Structure 1
Amino acid sequence: MSTQEAAWLAWYLCAVSLLLTAFGLVFLVASQSLVSAPVYDYWLLNTVMAVSFSPVGALIAPRLPPRNPIGWLFCAIGLFGAMRLFAAEYAIATLLAVPGSWLSALPGGEALAWVSSWVWVVHFGPFLFLALLFPDGRLPSIRWRPFASLVALVVGGGAVAVALWPETAARFDAVNSPLGIEVAANVINPVETILYALALTAAASLLVRLIRSKGIERQQVEWFAYAVVLLAISTTLAYVVSEAMDVRWLGWISSVLVIASIVGLPVAMSIAILRYRLYQIDSLINRTLVYGSLTAVLALVYFCTIVVFQRVLIVLTGQEPTLAVVASTLVIAALFNPLRRRIQSFIDRRFYRRKYDARKTLETFSAQLRDETDLDALSNGLVGVVRETMQPAHVSLWLRPEPASKGERAL
């Protein structure tokens, strides 16, 4: 697959994830007043995974070597999160809505209820392999191959077992799996236990990699390792300890930690890329951050100015003239370059401190050039600038002597 084809595929998966998320949230909102009973459906967790992982995966997947699947794992996490959200919200909206409402008339609710019952098992797979393969796409050592095979076997077998389970889900009492087999029900609890054990082991593999790594590689791994360990601990507290102890407040706090640690994974990836030059695509991420932030700020300013101008003009003229749109457009045009420079400066200051300091040093030296006339002072200043910005092992300055005039050569 060429780089261009990989880019098209990655952004296509990202678009599908975001569209499924949007439609899932639409059904969530639409069903609030029509569903007869509240259902806890993990909508916030799934939304966070879809929105935070998909764009990061689309950015990095086409730019990594073909043997490094980290970007595609990010795409898969985002896509499965979106599938979980859409399938669950559509099923809830159509199967649990008040009879006679427009939602209850929509088709396919039972099929998506069945999908939502087993896709969470498949969703475990990319998370586990992400911890095993980050950052170079290889296992920490050859000894981890049996564990990787076990992960694939448990995830695949567990998804099949849950799909064959006669009861689709407890929240859909009237829905049964179309492939229901009674024996599969005996596999559910062992699959959950084994998956959590595998998750803790995968997190431990990242700690092993962190201990063995040195220099810049260690700095690239440590932020991601901290996020994975926090995710493993918070998941254990949320779904194992809190249920075993039946402590409600611990479950709520742990759930918040789970969401925060999941967001921490793409954040840690961004820090490794921007600050420690992971994958050497920091310039692309820089532009994405700058223009993404710029677009968001300008859209907010545009919306606010339209609202403000319309209200002012309604008070003054008693109608809604198109002048508000024209004025808002002019404001956006005037703010574009100043905002872009400020956002670029902020991102450079936060993530490209060395580049930011070097630019400040050059600006200071440029100001000195305008006023300084002493050659020795300028020479020392130039050497200092080169030493501070380029940080060479040794720096020296050689000035070519001024050639003698004809009269001096004759003497």
Structure 2
Amino acid sequence: MNSPTTSNRRISALWLLLALVLALSIGTLILYIVNLNTMVPASWGTSAGTRANLPALINIFLIGVAVPLLTTALGVIIVSRHERNRVGRLMILLGMLYLLIPAFSELTVYMNLTAAAPLAGGQIVAWMSNWIWIIVYAILVLLMAVFPTGHFLSRNWAIAIGVPLVIFTGCLLIAAAVEQPMTSAYQVANPFVTRHPEVLYNALFAFGVPMMPFMLLMVLGEVAARYRRSGPVEKQQIKWLLVGLAATALLVVLGLALAFAADIPFGALLVNTAPILPVLAIGFAMLRYRLYDIDLVLRRTVSYALLTAVLLLVYFGSITLLTSLFSRATGQQSALAIVISTLLIAALFNPLRRRVQRWIDQRFFRSSYDAQTVLAEFALVARDETDLDALTSELVRVVQRTMQPEHISIWLRKH
């Protein structure tokens, strides 16, 4: 057991580490401002030209300040409370390495493009910038796999996740290290490779990239197995992680679609910031802050997602139908169809929301729905009942149905 002095030193060191991350974040922002009007080639998340625009500013703030600071801060808080917690340590490592992505990127621009002449070591920094994100991604996957205990669920799960993780990380690291020019480092020339090894590069990607979905499926499988075996508190923690993963998947898919299908730079911004969601979820779950609110979050998320889908279907369906009817009646298009459809949606919102919520509670949150129903019934009985014995019996029945304890007894104080 550590002495108070040792514990205080450890906590001071952790907060000093967080201060260092803050200082590096500020330095990265300063470099971005210096590089603001520098013409850059197209790179991941950046269009060709200057970066004096709002998406670029939001991007550098999120990946250079918000994500690394929040991740490191949550890790510091967790480790300061639970010294040997591996999840907290991984979060600190993840936050610090994540900061290196924008830091190396801005250094690459400054040393190779902004400076009057390319500075010594600029290509080395660009080379590191080209592959550092792969290590960050690997640590994020590892963090999700060992959450919340800091260990894999079993040796078999460690192998099932570890093997594809090593293959994915190794293949992409080698591919990024030999790429010429370096596409994630503003097309700067690779200092170690004079000619792009096309066959090796394509083979590494063909072998490594398919490991990504397989690895993530293994992580989800382990999370599901861990959920089945865990106690009440750990189950709530895992729910937080699942919500964070679902939101991350949505942002990544939407971001990739915008970036590649529609050529909208904002898509890369969504992909870059998506990792903060599972990290925040893990932080909240580990600190157990409002832990049981996740059930309410899940219920409302499912309810409003379904409600939105139904209302959109009704809205566009009614517009199509009414437009067709008005066209047949008057021979021309009418804005009245949109007005009527909007009023219809406004009238349907509250009653439809209540029905959807009730259906979801009955279908997916049955125990919570039953508990609420029983408590409402008890409130009616308690309001009118004057017999203490009858009220006590009703209270016992309510507790048994809602809490399902192994044993229950009531102690009444005699006056």
2:141 is the alignment partner of 1:131 = no
2:74 is the alignment partner of 1:60 = no
2:86 is the alignment partner of 1:69 = yes
Aligned to 1:247: 262
**Partners of 1:159 and 1:257 in 2: how far apart?**
18
Q: 1:24 to 1:270 in 2, by over 3 A?
A: same
2:127 is the alignment partner of 1:114 = yes
Q: What number of residue pairs does the alignment pair up?
A: 278
**Partners of 2:137 and 2:274 in 1: how far apart?**
18
Q: Is the 8 A contact 2:42 2:186 kept in 1?
A: no
Q: Is the 8 A contact 2:90 2:143 kept in 1?
A: yes
2:185 is the alignment partner of 1:169 = no
Q: Match of 1:169, SS?
A: coil
Q: 1:176 to 1:79 in 2, by over 3 A?
A: same
**Partners of 2:168 and 2:7 in 1: how far apart?**
30
**Partners of 1:189 and 1:3 in 2: how far apart?**
49
Q: 1:65 to 1:51 in 2, by over 3 A?
A: closer
* Counterpart amino acid of residue 69 in structure 2: V
**Partners of 2:214 and 2:77 in 1: how far apart?**
31
Identity of aligned residues (%): 17
**Partners of 1:44 and 1:196 in 2: how far apart?**
29
Provide, for residues 56-75 of structure 1, a one-character-per-residue CA deviation record: whole Å limited to 9, x for no partner. Answer: 11111243353x41001111
Provide, for residues 361-407 of structure 1, a one-character-per-residue CA deviation record: whole Å limited to 9, x for no partner. Answer: xxxxxxxxxxxxxxxxxxxxxxxxxxxxxxx96555578xxxxxxxx
Once the two structures are overlaid, the 10-residue window that deviates more, 185-194 or 19-28, is 185-194
Q: 1:6 to 1:134 in 2, by over 3 A?
A: farther
Aligned to 2:163: 150
After TM superposition, give the deviation of residue 27 of structure 1 in Å.
1.0
Q: 1:164 to 1:269 in 2, by over 3 A?
A: closer
After TM superposition, give the deviation of residue 225 of structure 1 in Å.
1.7
Provide, for residues 40-88 of structure 1, a one-character-per-residue CA deviation record: whole Å limited to 9, x for no partner. Answer: 356355223212101111111243353x410011112111111111001
* Counterpart amino acid of residue 227 in structure 1: G
2:290 is the alignment partner of 1:273 = no
Q: 1:258 to 1:202 in 2, by over 3 A?
A: farther
**Partners of 1:159 and 1:253 in 2: how far apart?**
22
Aligned to 1:213: 230
**Partners of 1:258 and 1:3 in 2: how far apart?**
36
Q: 1:163 to 1:177 in 2, by over 3 A?
A: farther
Q: Is the 8 A contact 2:79 2:88 kept in 1?
A: yes
Aligned to 2:104: 87
Q: Is the 8 A contact 2:63 2:99 kept in 1?
A: yes
Q: 1:144 to 1:18 in 2, by over 3 A?
A: same
**Partners of 1:38 and 1:21 in 2: how far apart?**
24
**Partners of 1:65 and 1:77 in 2: how far apart?**
17
Aligned to 1:18: 22
Q: 1:62 to 1:142 in 2, by over 3 A?
A: same
TM-score by length of 2: 0.56
Aligned to 1:231: 248
Q: Is the 8 A contact 2:108 2:123 kept in 1?
A: yes
**Partners of 1:273 and 1:109 in 2: how far apart?**
41
Q: 1:3 to 1:198 in 2, by over 3 A?
A: farther
Alignment RMSD (CA, Å):
3.6
Q: Is the 8 A contact 2:164 2:214 kept in 1?
A: no
Q: Match of 1:34, SS?
A: coil
**Partners of 1:192 and 1:16 in 2: how far apart?**
34
After TM superposition, give the deviation of residue 30 of structure 1 in Å.
1.2
Q: Match of 1:216, SS?
A: helix
* Counterpart amino acid of residue 266 in structure 1: L
After TM superposition, give the deviation of residue 152 of structure 1 in Å.
5.0
Q: Match of 1:202, SS?
A: helix
* Counterpart amino acid of residue 192 in structure 1: V
* Counterpart amino acid of residue 129 in structure 1: L
* Counterpart amino acid of residue 141 in structure 2: L
**Partners of 1:38 and 1:163 in 2: how far apart?**
17
Aligned to 1:371: none
**Partners of 1:137 and 1:16 in 2: how far apart?**
25
* Counterpart amino acid of residue 97 in structure 2: F
Q: 1:264 to 1:137 in 2, by over 3 A?
A: closer
* Counterpart amino acid of residue 36 in structure 2: Q
Structure 2 unaligned runs (5+)? 47-58, 293-407
TM-score by length of 1: 0.57
